[in-house]
Amino acid sequence: MDFEGKIISREISQLLWEREKTVSTAESCTGGRIAEAIIAVPGASKYFKGGIICYVNEVKENILGVSHELIEEKTAVCEEVAIEMVKGACKTLNTDYAIAATGFAGPGGGTKEIPVGTIWLACGTADKVVSLKIDEDNGRDINLSIATNKAIQMFCDFLKAEDAENIEEES
C-alpha cells in the first residue's frame, strides 16, 4: 500500500476507534484489497469485523442478499449492486458501516456497454450509502490500486461528513 493509503487508513482507524463503530467489506473485483488497506493499521480488530469476497454473482445473492433480478437486469457491475452489497455486508456481518466494490478490472470481462476499467464503489450504513464510478482502464493492477485507494478515501470522507452533520445538528 502506498503512503497516502496508509495515512487514509490511519485516519479511518482513528474515526472508527473514537466512535466505537465497526466496518466490513464486500468485494468483488478488488478481491480483499480494501479489507487489506483497512487492517494495515495496528488495532484494526477493534473496528474491522471481516470481509466477504463475492467474486461470483451466486455469493452476492446468497450471502449479501443482492437481488437476482437486479443482477439479471443491470449486471453485477452497476451502482445499484454496489449499494446492495454495502447494505448486505452491514446486515450479514453486523457492522455499522461497509465498503463495497464491483467491476471489471481487466484485462477481460468487459462489454461494449460496460468496458474494462468500470468499477462501482459504495460505502455507508444500512440506511445511507454513497457511491462512485471509476471508468478508466489503466491495466488490471493499476485499476485495482485506484479502486482500493478511492474506496478508502470515499469511506473516510463519508465518516467526516457524518461528523460535520452531527456538529450542525448540535448547533
Determine whether 8 is exposed, middle or buried from the number of CB atoms within 10 Å of its CB (0-12, 13-18, 19+): buried
Q: What is the mean pLDDT of residues 88-101?
A: 98
Q: Is the pLDDT of residue 11 over 70?
A: yes
Q: Is the pLDDT of residue 14 over 60?
A: yes
Q: Is the pLDDT of residue 168 over 90?
A: no
pLDDT at 166: 73
Q: How far is 101 from 111, CA to CA, in rounded Å? A: 18
pLDDT at 104: 97
At 151, list the grid cell: 474506496
3-class secondary structure, 42: coil
118 membership: H or E segment, kind and range: strand 118-124
Q: What DSSP assignment string belongs to 100-151? A: EEEE--SSS---SSS-TTEEEEEEE-SS-EEEEEEE----HHHHHHHHHHHH
Residue ranges and CATH numbers for the domains of the chain are: 3-165 (3.90.950.20)
Q: Is the pLDDT of residue 170 over 70?
A: no
pLDDT at 53: 98
